[in-house]
Structure 1
C-alpha cells in the first residue's frame, strides 16, 4: 500500500484520546503480520486500549525505535469543511483529523515496512505505537516499562511528532492537575450557614498566580520561548446561581518545566494551598491528570548527528510543545523529535499534511533502514 492509502485507512479510525482503540490496533497488527513481522499488542491498565510494539530485524541487537501515537484529539470544533475522519485530498494536501498529528508519521513508517523487511537488517528498527498521548502521554510509559523483555536496549528513539522533518533536541516537561473543592450549599442570605467553595478556591488561584510570577523570574534556559518554567490556571468552574452558596468549585492547573526541573514539583505549592482548605471544613480532591519530563539532547549526541545526516538539515535546539521523547530519555534511551508536517496545523479544523511531506518522511525512514544494514 502507498503511504496515502495507509493514511486514508488510519484517519478513518476514530481513535480519539481516552476511547477504546481495538480497531486501529487490529488493522496495524494485521498489516505488519501480512509482511511477516511479529507484533506484540500490549494492553494498558484501562483494559480497552493498547500499545503496539514490533521489531524489524534482530531483537538481540541494539537498534532504533520509531515512536508515534495512534490517538487523536476530538474533532467536534466548528470549521471543518469535510468529515474529519474521511481523508480528503485537495491540491496536494491531505485533510483529516490526525493527518499531521500524527497519523502521517505512522503512515510513512508503515509504507516503508515492505522495503525495510525485504533485506536483513544488522541493527533492528522497532515500531512503538502508543495510545492516549494526547491526554498527557498516558499510554507509552506502560510500553517503556516492558522494553527490557521486548528488545535489547535501544540506541535511540525517533519520535515522529510534526517538526517539518527537522530534528529537534529539546522540549519542556509538563504536569497537569485538577482541584475539586466541596463545601456546603445554602441560601446566599445566610452565608454563615454554608461553606462557599468558590470563595475557598480563590486563595488557591492566587497562590497559582503568585507562583507563575515567581517562575517568570528564572531560572532560565534560553533555547525555549519563553525561557523559563511556567504555570497557569487553565479552567475554573463553580456555582449554580447568584443567590445560592456554591457547594463545589473546580480548577485545573498546568506547569511546564525547563530541563532539570520536575514539572510536578512546580505544582506542589498550589497543591499545598489546596489541601490546607480541609482544615476549614472543605473536602479537597487533588487529581494528577498527566506528567511527563523534559527532553534535552546535546547537539553532539550520536542520535542528533544521525538525524542531521539523514535529513540534510541542522537540528533545532528546542520547541515549545511536549512529546513522549522525554519519557524515553528518562528510561535511559536517547530520544529526538523528527516527523512530517507542521505543529501549527494540528488540533485545528481541516488539519492537513502535504503529500510530498508524507513521501519525504517515508524516504527518510527507508534511509534509516539503509543505515541499519551498513
Structure 2
C-alpha cells in the first residue's frame, strides 16, 4: 500500500514555488476518508497551502509527523524516464521526491488507517508544508497556527531522509540577494557611468575574506566542517561587454553552527554593501530565507523515544538543514528521522527502497501503539 500511495504523490508535480492545490486536496480527502480531522492553511502567496491533520484527541499533547509536499525541479536530462511517474524496479522506487520527501509522507498516510483504528489516547498530527525547498518558507505559517489547532505537542519528528537514524542537530541557514543599481553608459566613457558589477565585485571580495574568518570559530565538533560558513552562490549583471552595467545581483548564504543566529553572520556583509550608497549607488538587501539551527540534547525525552521506536542510537548531526529548527524555536522539541538517503536527493533517478519505506511505516505504527490505550 505504501508504494501505491508514493506513486500517487509523485504524480503531483508539486515543484517548489508553484501552486500546490492539487496535492493538498488529494491528501486532505484521503485523511478525512480515514477519520482524520483536517485543516488546510492557505499561505500568504494565495496559491499554496500547508495541511494539518489529527488522529486522536486534539485536547491532549501528542506528536507531530512533519514533512514537506514540495520537490525540487526535475529538468535534468539524465533522468531515465518521466520523473513524475514512479517506477518500481526491484526494491527501488524511482521518481522525483521519492526520497526528499514524499516517501515519508506516503509512510505517514499508509499508517493513518491503523492509527485511526487504534483508539489513541494521545494524538498523532500530520503537518505537511509547502516551499521547504525554498528555505522553509511555508512551515512558519503552520507553526504559528498550532496553538489554535492542538495542545502543545510533546515533539515533532521531521521525516527528512536520514536512513531511519534519528538526528539531533543541524546547522542554521540564511540566504540573501544583494542588488546594486548604478548608471549605464558606453564603455569607452567609464567615468560617466556607475559600474554595478565593479561595485559588487568589491563587496564580494570582502565577503569572501570575511567568510574565511568564520573558520576561526566558534566551533561545534558535531558538524563537518565544525564552524559556520559563507558562500557566494550566484552573481548576475551586465548586458554586453561594451555597456557599463547598471545592475548586478549576488546571492549569498551562510550556514551557522548551533548558538549562532544565521542572519547575524551577514551583518558585516550588509554594512560593506550599504556603504556603496556613499558612492551614489542604490542598494537593495533582499532576505530570501532563514531558519535556525537544531540542537537537541542526547538525553532528551524525544531522543529516547526515537531510540525506542527505531532500535538505533541517535546521530549527533547532519550537514543539511530542515524545518526542525523552526519547531524547536517555537518551543517544540524536534528531531529528524525519515526513510532514504540524502545523497540520492536532488539528483536524476532519485529513488527510495521498499525496505526503507516499510521500516518508516513500522516506526510510525510503533509510535501509534505507544500512544494507544
Alignment TM class, shorter chain as reference: over 0.9
- Corresponding residue for 1:14? 13
- The structural deviation recorded for 1:247 is 1.1
Matched residues in 1 for 2:334 and 2:59: separation?
20
Q: 1:207 Cα shift?
A: 1.8
1:93-104 to 2 correspondences below 5 Å: 93-104=92-103
Q: Tell me, what secondary structure is at the counterpart of 1:223?
A: coil
- How many pairs are equivalent? 373
The equivalent of 2:249 in structure 1 is 250
> Per the alignment, in what secondary structure is the counterpart of residue 7 of structure 1?
helix
What displacement does 1:238 show? 1.4
**Partner secondary structure for residue 100 of structure 2:** coil
Q: Partner residue of 1:199?
A: 198
1:207 and 1:141 map into 2 onto residues whose CA distance is 33
For residues 362 and 261 of structure 1, what CA distance do their matches in structure 2 show? 35
Name segments (4+ residues, structure 1) moved above 4 Å: none
Residue in structure 2 matched with residue 70 of structure 1 by the alignment: 69
- Tell whether the 8 Å contact from 1:100 to 1:353 is kept in structure 2 after alignment: yes
Write out per-residue CA displacement over residues 229-254 of structure 1, whole angstroms, 9 at most, x where no aligned residue.
00111111111222211111110000
Structure 2 counterparts to residues 181-200 of structure 1, below 5 A: 181-200=180-199
What is the match of residue 37 of structure 1? 36
The offset of 1:359, in angstroms, is 1.0
Which residue does 2:328 correspond to in 1? 329
Provide the residue aligned with 2:110 in structure 1.
111
Q: Deviations over 1:172-231 (max 9, x none)?
A: 000000011111111111011000001111121012112111100111000000000001
Task: Tell me what 2:162 maps to.
Answer: 163
Note the 1:229-308 alignment, pairs <5 A: 229-308=228-307
Contact 1:62-1:123 at 8 Å conserved across structures:
yes
SS at match of 1:210: helix
5+ long unaligned stretches in structure 1: none
Instruction: Tell me the distance in 1 between the aligned counterparts of 2:28 and 2:270.
Output: 42
Distance (Å, rounded) in 2 between the aligned partners of 1:236 and 1:30: 44
Distance of 2:314 and 2:214 partners within structure 1: 28
Match of 1:212 in 2: 211
Aligned to 1:224: 223
What is the alpha-carbon distance in structure 2 between the residues aligned to residue 29 and residue 303 of structure 1? 28
1:169, CA displacement in angstroms? 0.1
**Cα distance between partner residues in 2 of 1:73 and 1:366:** 29
Q: Give the whole-Å Cα distance in 2 for the aligned partners of 1:308 and 1:33.
A: 31
Structure 1 contact 207–269 (Cα < 8 Å) conserved: no
CA distance in 2, matches of 1:112, 1:211: 49
Q: Cα offset for 1:289? A: 0.3
Asked if residue 148 in structure 1 is aligned to residue 150 in structure 2, the reply is no
Asked if 1 retains the 8 angstrom alpha-carbon contact of 2:237 and 2:248, the reply is: yes
Deviation string for 1:250-282 (max 9, x for gaps)? Answer: 100000000110001111111111111112111
Aligned to 1:365: 364
**Whole-Å separation in 1 of the counterparts to 2:210 and 2:301:** 38
Give deviations 1:47-83, integer Å, cap 9, x for gaps: 1000000111011111100000000000011210000
Q: Secondary structure at the match of 1:267?
A: helix
Question: Matches of 1:37 and 1:199 in 2, distance apart?
Answer: 57
Q: Offset of 1:161 from its aligned partner?
A: 0.1
Contact map agreement 2:174 2:290 (CA 8 A) in 1: yes
Tell me if the contact between 1:203 and 1:273 (Cα under 8 Å) persists in the aligned partners.
no
- SS of the residue corresponding to residue 304 of structure 1 reads helix
Q: Compute the displacement of 1:93 (Å).
A: 0.4
Q: Separation in 1 of the partners of 2:118 and 2:215?
A: 53
- SS in structure 2 opposite 1:187? coil
Distance 2:63 2:5 in 1: 23
Measure, in 1, the Cα distance between the counterparts of 2:339 and 2:3. 13
Cα distance between partner residues in 1 of 2:182 and 2:330: 42
